[in-house]
């Protein structure tokens, strides 16, 4: 059941960003502070990764739990009982399928894809940065072996 009326829900949805979200900006700032160079919303790659570390071919996505279907089985059940359930279930299923398609396309192009949930970024930014640094280290050692 929605706690907001129709007009409140409309205003809420209009203010949801697709780029420069708070979680994306938080991760970008942390990477910048570590001296990691990246591009934001990199248009040259499928899915326009939120962060692309081109030197090491690492694509980073900052995914919100709702729109990307975290714990999908539970969320789907919850949505099934709500208003506009068909719309939201279809939308989130398509988002999840698109995420898989993008991951596969990037992988086939030789890129490493890492996806962080918003809560993961907010609760453990250091862990997220560490995971990216480990990928850079792995990719860097692989390049030096060539």
CATH number at residue 81: 3.40.960.10
pLDDT value for 81: 78
pLDDT of res. 10: 57
Q: What tens digit of pLDDT does each residue of 18-61 get?
A: 667 899 999 999 999 999 999 999 999 999 999 999 999 999 99
Whether 40 and 21 have beta carbons less than 8 Å apart is answered as: no
Q: How far is it, in rounded angstroms, from Cα 77 to Cα 109?
A: 36
95, 102 contact by CB (below 8 A): no
Domain extent at residue 44: 18-145
Give the position of tokens 């694509």.
Answer: 59
Higher pLDDT, 75 or 10: 75
> Which of 137-141's residues contact partners 24+ apart within 8 Å by CB, and which partners?
139/56, 139/57, 139/58, 139/112, 140/56
Beta bridge pairs of residue 116: 62
Q: Alpha-carbon distance 102 to 46, whole Å?
A: 6
Residue 119 included in any domain: yes
In a domain, 10, yes or no: no
Sign of the alpha-carbon torsion through 110, 58, 48, 120: positive
Residue 40 DSSP label: E
The answer to whether position 5 is within a domain reads: no
Residue 1 lies in a domain: no
pLDDT (0 to 100) of residue 99: 96
Contact 87, 146 (CB under 8 A): no
Check: pTM over 0.75? Answer yes or no: yes
Instruction: Report if residue 12 sits inside a domain.
Output: no
């Amino acid at each position: 059941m929605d706690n907001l009326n129709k007009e409140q829900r409309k205003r809420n949805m209009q203010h949801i960003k697709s780029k420069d979200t708070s979680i994306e900006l938080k991760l970008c700032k942390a990477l910048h502070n570590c001296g990691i160079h990246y591009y934001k919303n990199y248009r040259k790659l499928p899915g326009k990764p939120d962060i692309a570390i081109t030197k090491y071919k690492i694509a980073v996505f900052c995914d919100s739990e709702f729109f990307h279907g975290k714990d999908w089985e539970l969320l789907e059940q919850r949505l099934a009982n709500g208003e506009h359930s068909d719309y939201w279930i279809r939308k989130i299923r398509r988002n999840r399928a698109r995420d898989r398609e993008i991951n596969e396309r990037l992988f086939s192009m030789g890129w490493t894809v890492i996806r962080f949930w918003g809560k993961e970024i907010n609760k453990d930014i250091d862990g997220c940065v560490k995971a990216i640094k480990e990928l850079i280290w792995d990719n860097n050692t692989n390049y030096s072996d060539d």
